[in-house]
Structure 1
Amino acid sequence: MSPIPPLFVLPITPAGCLTCTQPSARVYLLTFDSPPDNRMTPTFCTTLLLALDILDHRFPKGVVITTSGIQKFYSNGLDYDSAIKTKGFFEDYLYPLWRRLLTYPMPTVALIPGHAFAAGFMTAMMHDYRLMNPHRGYLCLNELDFGAPLTPPMASIFRQKVPNPNTFRTMILESKRYGALEALKEGLLDGLGDVGVVLDFVIEGRLVDRARSGVYGRLKQEMWRETVGLLEGFMQGEQRVRRDLEEGEKRKSEEMRRVEAWEAKTMTAKSKL
């Protein structure tokens, strides 16, 4: 029997592609393959966003599953140096994709075959559900390791979706790598397995019909109001970050003044002995 042709294929420049297949009625599988590790570049973000738009406006409502054709990685996150040098990267590329996923008018499932680090992990968190290969890969926020701050939406999605505040702390301040079993225990995942398991998950949850009433996306927008607001209000968030940095510098100057005053007082006292 000939293989079932994909519903559509979109290029991810310079050498990747995103393929949409339909493994079951009204279940759409988006498989991205952007070597070497599915970095979230501007073209990656715009291609995945276009695929979501095509499914929303040209196909019957159902369930959307995203996964990677590169088995070692779901996504290794941003190319950080490139991201901060690309004008408008966050507000024009990354955040529109995240907002679309977070408020998408159908159930979304991230099928994670391998590592999901930093922004790759965040992208998986923007889905409604996450299932992971139990034998390969880690979930990790490793911003601490390469010296990158979390922007307000990045922190917000974990604050809203991670049930245990101690897990939230450990993820960020220790850059802990969570294997699939531990991630499931900590509530970061909804299940373990492959595409077959995800299809069973979709059937058991009756997810295919969840979007039928037309309010699925609006319900999610209200559920995740904090993160949605931060994604939409990017400039206000950036202004807040700048204010925090400025206030931090002022506090640092005041702290140094107190230390220097203490040192001067100590030296004066010693000189009198």
Structure 2
Amino acid sequence: MSEIFGDVRLEIRDGIGVLTLLGTEGVWPWGTCRQEHRWNPEMVSNIGHALDIVEAHAEVMVMTNEGKYWSNGMDLRYLDSCSGKASQQLQKDTNELMARICCFPLPTVAAFRGHWCAAGAMMGLAFDYRVMSSDVGFFFIPGVDLGLIYAPMQTALMKAKLPQSLHRDVILFNSRRWTAKDLLAAGAIDAAEPLQAVLHKALQLATALRSKGQGPPRKALQGLKQGLYHEVLEALSAGAMSFPGRVSGVEKAAPKL
């Protein structure tokens, strides 16, 4: 099975649902480069549709990317171009997508073949397992440099998924661009592989996870996740991001090493 939803390709391979964020050229009408895989209404909706099919027809889910970015975060150009109501809706939908992946009823693996930054980093943290390229790509979450305060749900997700030793340097101070080597040593990812081997490693891991709770017992997995990550789910209704110091048009901030 193979289907395309906008910039998202879905394939079902031996029980594994593989979502690939495509390296589509060009820009969205509001000026964002499509290859950055930022969270805007189109991307969030298309991934949601693909997840519906994965949930119905697969046993494990893997999400990977083409091009330089797994995801460069929230689509700030879209937020600048739309009304306050539309901005709030996108943030709500994006946070709900993160929470859905965090508590997905199947095992999930993120395969990073490029940068995963800001809200893209948060989305990556929502997965059960993470495999990152050892020779390309960085991880960082630059709220302090963009002048924004994370939504309560986003903070809860980062606290739940990042080792406590990284809370200060990642969540508060955006102190560095983290490589796969750094994140593996800190326990924030599960494997670091050369670029060409990332997806292969992720599929190996997904294959090993197919048998975990297979059949009727698999119905317990989502409940187990909901219990473990209940603070993430409870924070969903606590509000969106706020922007007390953000200058309109800022796209990204490069952390100082």
Structure 1: gaps (5+ residues)? 1-5, 12-16, 246-273
Q: Could you tell me which residue of structure 2 aligns to residue 221 of structure 1?
A: 226
Q: Secondary structure at the match of 1:78?
A: coil
Report matched runs for 1:135-150 at 5 Å: 135-150=135-150
Moved over 3 A (4+): none
Please give the alpha-carbon distance, in whole angstroms, between the structure 2 residues aligned to 1:109 and 1:78. 21
Please give the alpha-carbon distance, in whole angstroms, between the structure 2 residues aligned to 1:82 and 1:197. 34
Paired letter, 2:121: F
Q: Is the 1:131–1:198 Cα contact (8 Å) retained in structure 2?
A: yes
Paired letter, 2:12: Q
Q: Could you tell me which residue of structure 2 aligns to residue 90 of structure 1?
A: 91
Q: Could you tell me which residue of structure 2 aligns to residue 270 of structure 1?
A: none
Q: TM-score, normalised by structure 2?
A: 0.80
Q: Secondary structure at the match of 1:53?
A: helix
Paired letter, 2:48: L
Q: Secondary structure at the match of 2:210?
A: helix
1:211 CA displacement: 4.7
Report matched runs for 1:136-215 at 5 Å: 136-163=136-163, 165-175=164-174, 176-193=176-193, 194-203=198-207, 206-212=208-214, 213=217, 214-215=219-220
Please give the alpha-carbon distance, in whole angstroms, between the structure 2 residues aligned to 1:229 and 1:107. 22
Please give the alpha-carbon distance, in whole angstroms, between the structure 2 residues aligned to 1:187 and 1:31. 25
Q: Could you tell me which residue of structure 1 aligns to residue 105 of structure 2?
A: 105
Report how many aligned residue pairs link the two structures: 220
Q: Could you tell me which residue of structure 1 aligns to residue 9 of structure 2?
A: 19
1:31 CA displacement: 0.3
Please give the alpha-carbon distance, in whole angstroms, between the structure 2 residues aligned to 1:143 and 1:89. 18
Q: How high is the sequence identity, in percent, across the aligned residues?
A: 24
Q: Secondary structure at the match of 1:215?
A: helix
Q: Could you tell me which residue of structure 2 aligns to residue 49 of structure 1?
A: 48
Query: RMSD of the TM alignment (CA)?
Result: 2.0
Please give the alpha-carbon distance, in whole angstroms, between the structure 2 residues aligned to 1:114 and 1:53. 25
Paired letter, 2:143: E
Paired letter, 1:82: Y
Higher helix share: 1
Please give the alpha-carbon distance, in whole angstroms, between the structure 1 residues aligned to 2:179 and 2:201. 18
Q: Could you tell me which residue of structure 1 aligns to residue 4 of structure 2?
A: 9
Please give the alpha-carbon distance, in whole angstroms, between the structure 1 residues aligned to 2:151 and 2:199. 32
Stretch deviating more after TM superposition (167-176 or 101-110): 167-176
Q: Could you tell me which residue of structure 2 aligns to residue 63 of structure 1?
A: 60
One of 73, 90, 97 as aligned partner of 2:69: 73
User: Once the two structures are superposed, what CA deviation does each residue of 1:182-226 show, in whole Å capped at 9, x if it has no partner?
Assistant: 0111111011221111122234xx311225211111111111000
Please give the alpha-carbon distance, in whole angstroms, between the structure 2 residues aligned to 1:106 and 1:166. 28
Q: TM-score, normalised by structure 1?
A: 0.75
Q: Is the 1:109–1:131 Cα contact (8 Å) retained in structure 2?
A: yes
Q: Is the 2:108–2:206 Cα contact (8 Å) retained in structure 1?
A: no
Structure 2: gaps (5+ residues)? 25-33, 245-257
Higher relative contact order, chain-length normalized (CA < 8 Å, sep 6+): 2
Q: Could you tell me which residue of structure 1 aligns to residue 28 of structure 2?
A: none
Q: Secondary structure at the match of 1:189?
A: coil
Q: Which has the larger radius of gyration?
A: 1
1:174 CA displacement: 2.4
Describe the shift of the 1:83–1:209 C-alpha distance in structure 2 as closer, same or farther (beyond 3 A): farther
Q: Is the 1:138–1:177 Cα contact (8 Å) retained in structure 2?
A: yes
